[in-house]
Structure 1
Amino acid sequence: MLQNLRTKMQLSATVNNYLKITFGVQPNFGYKAGAKKLPLYLLQRFQIVEGELFNTKVLFAFDKRKTRLTPYEIKKSVEAILRFLHKPVIYCTEALTTVEAFRLIKYRVQFIIPGRQAYLPDFMISIRNRGQQISEPKHHFTPVAQQVFIFLLQNHSGTTTPGQIAEKLGYSNMSVSRALQELENKELVRRISDGRKKIPQLAADRKTIWEKGRQYLFNPVASVKFMVGETKKTVLQLPEAGVTALSKYSMLADDAVKTYACRNREFEKMIKNGNFEMVDFKEGTPKVPARVQIQDNFETVDFKEDTHKSPARVPGKFEIADFQEDADFQLEIWKYNPRPLSDGGTVDIFSLYATLQHDPDERVQAALEEMMEGVEW
């Protein structure tokens, strides 16, 4: 707690110095604002301080960084503070990634990163110190740790052994043990002795652990393939993903091109087994395969000009196109297997959140918020 207080004081001091040195103004920080008017979740996220900037009364919202907020969440929080306290709000934080800063600018959220960047459109100010680079923190989960984290969020009885987790997720006991150690180091999990066994349990209630742990999530999608062919799930037997899955948990409409997910190894296996065929959709003379060679689990096809029509598609076979407009559906290739955690025909909601949390579409961000609000913690 003392460390958190010291950090907040340091942030306000650095913002004060930054404004004084860069713009020659004193913010004249006053009393803490909103203690009796703001909802608890905003008070937990920010320290709100009244101040003055260019003879205008403003509110400085210092990020307490208890949880890492997405740009959309920052936007909604700033709008809520403005709605409750009726004064311009300036979001202040120690660091943002380049993408996060770009999104806040797109949302027209005023912010200050002392020593690095100030975006204050109400005052016609946008300045950035290009000598410093804002980089993404290197603290994401490993793929196994992310799956174990989500598994424990889904199965929170506190009675599942590491061996049972390994069997469920398809990993070795050693891999799961390393993942649990990683989660323990991040203070998300604790292991309770039960005789000779150590049972992993969440270190706090599910919602608290989710809020604390989501900052470590990485996007499991390695690539996206555009598929042509039969789209019935009885053929693919793959969980729905992306906006297709999100539409099941929110009011967001599904995309015209449905999205499914599978692990990269599973995709390679399907290519090796001949389930997929690389094709060329360029206009003009159709091309047909002249030679097929299997190498390193991928199918390499040489094409030659041919004046005959391409053969009819075989049921259960799919073609991989170059462009989304040619696709009947798209396939996300994941860094881990989405099947063990999938729920009701879709990928699990926590992995789904990880795949879409940085999507620039406001409708997607609103749908994600709706989905997470519907979770029964």
Structure 2
Amino acid sequence: MRKAINYINETLGTNAVEIPIHNRDFGNLPIYISQAYKLYEARIFFKDIVLVELKNEDDLSILQADKHLQLLRNTFNRIVVLVLDNLQSYNRKRLIEKGINFIVPGKQIFLPELLIHLNESFTQPKPKQRNEVLMPSAQFLLLYHIIHRYQNWKLEEHPFKGIAQKLKYTPMAITYAVEELKQRELIEVYGEKEKYIKFNLERSELWYTAQEQKLLSSPVLKTVYVDVLPSNVFMLKANASALPEYTSLNPSKQQYYAIEKNAFYFLQKNNGLVNANDREGQYAIEVWKYNPEALAEDMGNDNAVVDPLSLYLSLKDSLDERIEMGLEQIIEKYIW
């Protein structure tokens, strides 16, 4: 914080001094504020301000920071300024777009409430590249949260370890999935010893945001046709065979089933598929990127079918008008 104060004084010609705001002075602020930030009082041009320093800048989320700064402003009734040592260009742009006061010592002062904007230099490390769509495990978590809104077991009420056990993922896979959702600003992570997640949007808004940003993809890796279903393997109906469960459509002549990719490769390795090919067969087996059974569990369907939103994503590019009508019915039932 001393660097920020020196930068303010040198740049603006002031004599500001920072005074720490101790935890005991936080009043009724949530505990996560004191865990995430250091707060200081200062005075610039006869205006009392609160300087907010993020303890771990790797945790910076613009959406979350905006909410927290508004909370601090309402609590202290003062101008609130975010202080950052480093700031990537895309986050800088978002802070400016949202009108959030911020200071990057030696580089930039943006205080729209004081009509101050000084930009000396701004060279940033290249931001990490990320995939256009969510990784399968991250998509799984997002869809599970939307679909299971009425079930007793909810993602937001359990730590990472509990989520991994319930959804049959490794703890590391859940950690990676959560990190990606956090980077997309779809969730917040909180907690010390045990980490929990909190989705930033209502379920319908979450779905439409993910759709608009093109984050969601078909769960189907490929489709394999066989003449005989593999024995001793439980599979859910998928594709047009699953549509009657959620829509007014009749089942198709071609029978479709879904299987998780690792289970499929096990069958393939152990010669469990009869006359497998990529063109035709009595049964079509969709090989999924994630476990269709875990996502459809506890849905209370009359038949063993895949979940409705993964079904939607697997068919959304279909040109069949009947299927398009069925997909509209799914959205009306599970999103609106």
**Could you state the TM-score of these two structures normalised by the residue count of structure 2?**
0.53
Determine which structure has the larger strand proportion and give its number.
1
Distance in structure 1 (CA, Å) of the matches to 2:178 and 2:229? 40
Q: Does 1:151 align with 2:149?
A: no
Deviations 1:52-85, CA, capped at 9 Å, x for gaps: xxxxxxxxxxxxxxxxxxxxxxxxxxxxxxxxxx
Shift of 1:152: 2.2
Asked if 1 retains the 8 angstrom alpha-carbon contact of 2:203 and 2:335, the reply is no
Deviations 1:151-201, CA, capped at 9 Å, x for gaps: 2223454202211221233322222112112112222112233x6322112
- The correspondence for 1:196, drawn from 190, 193, 198, is 193
Distance in structure 2 (CA, Å) of the matches to 1:154 and 1:362? 25
- The correspondence for 2:263, drawn from 263, 266, 275, is 266
Asked if 2 retains the 8 angstrom alpha-carbon contact of 1:148 and 1:165, the reply is no
Distance in structure 2 (CA, Å) of the matches to 1:211 and 1:140? 14
Match of 1:178 in 2: 176
Match of 2:37 in 1: none
Match of 1:218 in 2: 217
Q: Would the alpha carbon gap of residues 348 and 322 (structure 1) be closer, same or farther in structure 2, given more than 3 Å must change?
A: closer
Q: Would the alpha carbon gap of residues 334 and 376 (structure 1) be closer, same or farther in structure 2, given more than 3 Å must change?
A: closer
Q: Does 1:245 align with 2:238?
A: no
Asked if 2 retains the 8 angstrom alpha-carbon contact of 1:261 and 1:338, the reply is yes
Distance in structure 1 (CA, Å) of the matches to 2:229 and 2:314? 25
Match of 2:317 in 1: 358
Distance in structure 2 (CA, Å) of the matches to 1:186 and 1:323? 38
Q: Would the alpha carbon gap of residues 192 and 153 (structure 1) be closer, same or farther in structure 2, given more than 3 Å must change?
A: farther
Asked if 2 retains the 8 angstrom alpha-carbon contact of 1:357 and 1:365, the reply is yes
Instruction: Specify which structure has the bigger relative contact order, considering alpha-carbon pairs within 8 angstroms and separated by 6 or more residues.
Output: 1
Q: Does 1:227 align with 2:226?
A: yes
For residues 296-375 of structure 1, the aligned pairs below 5 Å read 319-321=275-277, 323-324=279-280, 327-342=281-296, 343=299, 344=301, 345-375=304-334
SS in 2 for 1:347: coil
Q: How many residues align?
A: 195
Deviations 1:307-358, CA, capped at 9 Å, x for gaps: xxxxxxxxxxxx324532xx22110011222121024311111211111111
Q: For structure 1, which segment, 337-346 or 327-336, has the greater mean C-alpha deviation from structure 2 after superposition?
A: 337-346
Shift of 1:146: 0.9
Match of 1:160 in 2: 158
Corresponding letter in the other structure for 1:276: L
Deviations 1:81-129, CA, capped at 9 Å, x for gaps: xxxxxxxxxxxxxxxxxxxxxxxxxxxxxxxxxxxxxxxxxxxxxxxxx
Match of 2:251 in 1: 254
Shift of 1:144: 1.4
SS in 1 for 2:259: strand
Q: Would the alpha carbon gap of residues 322 and 212 (structure 1) be closer, same or farther in structure 2, given more than 3 Å must change?
A: closer
Deviations 1:21-50, CA, capped at 9 Å, x for gaps: xxxxxxxxxxxxxxxxxxxxxxxxxxxxxx
Asked if 1 retains the 8 angstrom alpha-carbon contact of 2:229 and 2:273, the reply is no
Asked if 2 retains the 8 angstrom alpha-carbon contact of 1:183 and 1:189, the reply is yes
Asked if 1 retains the 8 angstrom alpha-carbon contact of 2:147 and 2:334, the reply is no
Deviations 1:275-310, CA, capped at 9 Å, x for gaps: 223xxxxxxxxxxxxxxxxxxxxxxxxxxxxxxxxx
**Could you state the TM-score of these two structures normalised by the residue count of structure 1?**
0.48
Shift of 1:227: 1.3
SS in 2 for 1:271: helix
Asked if 1 retains the 8 angstrom alpha-carbon contact of 2:219 and 2:288, the reply is yes
Corresponding letter in the other structure for 1:372: I
Distance in structure 2 (CA, Å) of the matches to 1:352 and 1:361? 15
Corresponding letter in the other structure for 1:150: L
Q: Would the alpha carbon gap of residues 376 and 138 (structure 1) be closer, same or farther in structure 2, given more than 3 Å must change?
A: closer
Structure 2 spans left out of the alignment, 5+ residues: 1-129
Shift of 1:236: 4.3
Corresponding letter in the other structure for 2:236: P
Distance in structure 2 (CA, Å) of the matches to 1:191 and 1:257? 44
Distance in structure 2 (CA, Å) of the matches to 1:208 and 1:338? 24
Cα RMSD of the aligned pairs, angstroms, is: 2.3
Q: Would the alpha carbon gap of residues 155 and 228 (structure 1) be closer, same or farther in structure 2, given more than 3 Å must change?
A: same
Distance in structure 2 (CA, Å) of the matches to 1:364 and 1:138? 29
Asked if 2 retains the 8 angstrom alpha-carbon contact of 1:151 and 1:341, the reply is yes
